Structure 1
């Protein structure tokens, strides 16, 4: 090896380490400058986005490309990326509010991740920019290099923390001073990242994605088996409970994304490197064929959620992701059913769909897919068409998270709003903390539930009283549980609840204690003992049947008996409620 060849790795380490350190220092300086009145928010955002994307892409391209070419590639990506994020910043009064919007930053960073392999292949110039083999190799190499580099950063800081603790035992605090400095932490992290990426490139023949791809292939039969069991069980289990919220949709989307990754890993960059065994190849094909089912279920789950609660930025992002995954799934299935050359067709689809994903990510940052504007219009339409009384509108998010579009939507909601909604809108605008707003809304909801419960709860014996003060300090869980029971009607239409006054505990007036009987979701009668201590605090206890030695499990007919007066307060050491042959007494 010539002297120049021996010096090349050293130069690359110095170059990447220096670039990473300078980028870390600049990012720290921009972080410190946020909010500085002399630096316009838009200029701050453009500087942060441009520097961050330039450093990330240039570090990724250095090694596979000459350092100067990698810097050029970083600039080529950073300029449009910064402008797109700046365009998104126009949705806010202060553009730097984008830094606190994860739904925008996530898509922006995903766009950078997807576009970098295309830039690498284009600048290298040896293959067409749409060549699957070149893009596959570039994407996986970049992923493995960055993943291991960040792992090394974690290990570096772990060693530094342990070293600081060790030296502190002998009174040396040099490392501790480094750890206390934000500036040095940024510089060191950037420098270590660049150094690690340089070393990864030097060892590229030993550290390749081949090991990761081979390991991923081992997981393909496992995921296929799980999906097949899911599909077989689905007709018997039904869809009840499958679409109760965002979590099932997220699970389905994660499964589809994992399956797409495993199919791509199995097919590799070209036919020469793809799985060769008939069993694994067949499993890959079957997995590709069944993918549209979980992908379609994820889309359906999100659609039901949107139908019930309208659009929000999170739901829009989930819908966009689910739509892309469904496109992948349908393409994979069509290719897998197309004939002998199905593997090559899937590779072609991968390139095309990656391009579509980049385009959609870019559109997400433009007015064409302004999630805040679309969400605000959706929530406003729900209220105007009578789809909601306003209690479940995301008012705080509209006031504080959705930028100008959210506040404009609130202004339109406030026009002609009733007193209750106008009050909630004013509270949303004037409460800077989401937790404080939700806590106040929770208090209002509890008060409304308590008022409704007092109105609908039957009281026995006739002439006994039940008022709002009886629910003071009662935990909201009990109030809602009893109210839900009241809303479950008996067969004759009467409320599924009753409050029974009685001298269940000696020495306590009947007016200060009661048993609340209510229907649960299974139409069985449950009961809670309630009394108020002298200081006014409630004492709530479970009710049990001493004859059975267990919590009573009574049919709905027992509740009807109490409402009809066919129950008695009977002795049992303390007083108990006798109904339907059971004895109900408060626990101790």
Structure 2
């Protein structure tokens, strides 16, 4: 018995696998079940090393060596998936070489991610990997695997675009169905456990909570699902065809929405977009959605799979819209970096914008009638090139070559040294808790600084056990709070409470925050109402400092959602005395929970309607 794929007569990925010989199907099933069982056992053993062993320490080897445990965990999670997807699709030698390369790369990524973490991952602390590594590693593996499979099947370095499309989209559907099958399996187990619990039998409920059962059964179920979906090739292709058809028509909706958004920008301006604080992520997400939907309409580029004329127009328009979207993303990111410097999130966003730029240039060129190729055909080369660039970018970002934490720390330190940020506004929390070993080393340098203010704050950060013990950086010079009515002035020092609260980053551009001075409780002292796009906040002065005493949600009483700033500008805010005083109970003052507040608010807002006159 040989595993399918060991001979040169193995059908290509596009062939119907339901016609495979019984012996080959059995061999593939045995191989995949063995992979699933082995993965489950390895993951369980790794999990066991992190548990309390009852011998005076929390973990045993290899969990006590984070630089070893992290790579082992990442390899155990992802390498079996590569093997499951490669059995029957790659020649044995190709699969062995590719699996070896994937294992080495995953191991190096896991090792780097652990060793760059801050010191303190000792034998009493569980080793860990940063969360972003998991999705990015999965994306890199998926893309790389489906660059290799078609090339191996066609026996050339670069396969045809039709082969890339067929392999990748089929694998995507297969992965989704396999995950869904595994989730459904566990839902049925929980349902069965609930049924047995009703009659007093708890063995199944207790069993599924045991890691020695749950982990291997999950991996085995996923492996079985992969095999079942693989040998039912016609089913997968049918599901894929339906999914592509439905998604391709959603391209019309997305194209209209993005076109409308771009058309409205000249009239609304960009302030609203920048005010979100996540403009780059939002715009890049829209660009990513367009890229996926364009490909669902274009498919493999064969004439028989060409979309209707209306979708062809939508594809061209969407391809051209990618460029302004990516430009907006880069613009917003550049403004943010110019204001606050580099952070790991901004570096990752910049990398995504670069990949998006590759798509925008390639798709824009494909949409123009300046080339002699067929309809949108340059899109094919763009997809392959962007796929390679995506894998390379992920490997660079999660390796020492372009470690986002290292680059961010270097940039933030340079900003401090050249005076672009003051010692008071510098983010010491980032160095202490968010940038790993390189941040701790930079913080040690600051603690030895000749600048007393810098050294004091750095030493306080070094002594902190939690990020919440460190005062957030002051951004006083960047806060813009407009006074209402125009021409009036806010009380001196009012910006102080804004600096020390979570809303300090909200008031960073003109028009985002509006404040009004008024006496809210009739005590002759001035309070301040601060309106941002979401709510009203009341501040009062106590012991020489301005403190927040409460908030107001304008939609709480069932009214329409309003912009608090517009309500303030229209003069629609005025204090109304409370009809009930607070109640002191055993020396403790308790506010009365007034259930009729909303009815009272409506009565104040709407004058009573006169009763109709009696009929004569």
Q: TM-score, normalised by structure 2?
A: 0.71
Which of 441, 458, 465 in structure 1 is aligned with 2:471?
441
Distance in structure 1 (CA, Å) of the matches to 2:103 and 2:418:
44
Structure with higher Rg: it is 1
Distance in structure 1 (CA, Å) of the matches to 2:528 and 2:160:
67
Which of 287, 294, 302 in structure 1 is aligned with 2:325?
294
Counterpart in the other structure of 1:16: 32
Counterpart in the other structure of 1:368: 401
Moved more, 281-290 or 389-398: 389-398
CA contact (8 A) 1:85 1:108 kept: no
Which of 221, 225, 230 in structure 1 is aligned with 2:256?
225
Counterpart in the other structure of 1:184: 213
Which of 26, 47, 55 in structure 1 is aligned with 2:42?
26
Displacement of 1:33: 2.6
Counterpart in the other structure of 2:310: 279
**Counterparts in 2 of 1:481 and 1:106: CA distance versus 1, 3 Å:** closer
**Counterparts in 2 of 1:20 and 1:232: CA distance versus 1, 3 Å:** same
Root-mean-square deviation (Å): 4.4
**Counterparts in 2 of 1:325 and 1:417: CA distance versus 1, 3 Å:** farther
Distance in structure 2 (CA, Å) of the matches to 1:429 and 1:343:
57
Which of 501, 516, 525 in structure 1 is aligned with 2:526?
516
Moved more, 403-412 or 69-78: 69-78
Counterpart in the other structure of 2:430: 397
Distance in structure 2 (CA, Å) of the matches to 1:2 and 1:118:
24
CA contact (8 A) 2:117 2:436 kept: yes
2:81 aligned with 1:53: no
Distance in structure 1 (CA, Å) of the matches to 2:568 and 2:343:
44
Distance in structure 1 (CA, Å) of the matches to 2:355 and 2:372:
26
Matched ranges for 1:246-325 at <5 A? 246-325=277-356
Higher share of residues assigned helix: 1
Matched ranges for 1:36-185 at <5 A? 36=60, 40-65=65-90, 70=95, 73-92=98-117, 99-126=128-155, 128-185=157-214
Q: Does the residue aligned with 2:525 lie in a helix, a strand or coil?
A: strand
Q: Does the residue aligned with 2:342 lie in a helix, a strand or coil?
A: coil
Distance in structure 2 (CA, Å) of the matches to 1:233 and 1:538:
37
CA contact (8 A) 2:428 2:458 kept: yes
Moved more, 46-55 or 204-213: 46-55
Counterpart in the other structure of 1:239: 270
Counterpart in the other structure of 1:202: 231
**Counterparts in 2 of 1:343 and 1:243: CA distance versus 1, 3 Å:** same
2:425 aligned with 1:409: no
**Counterparts in 2 of 1:20 and 1:390: CA distance versus 1, 3 Å:** farther
CA contact (8 A) 1:516 1:528 kept: no
Distance in structure 2 (CA, Å) of the matches to 1:527 and 1:7:
72
CA contact (8 A) 1:93 1:403 kept: yes
Aligned residues: 503
Distance in structure 2 (CA, Å) of the matches to 1:417 and 1:353:
48
Unaligned runs of 5+ in 2: 1-16, 51-58, 480-488, 510-514, 553-563, 572-578, 580-603, 605-616
Displacement of 1:72: 5.2
**Counterparts in 2 of 1:476 and 1:158: CA distance versus 1, 3 Å:** farther
Distance in structure 2 (CA, Å) of the matches to 1:483 and 1:11:
62
2:368 aligned with 1:339: no
Distance in structure 2 (CA, Å) of the matches to 1:147 and 1:540:
47
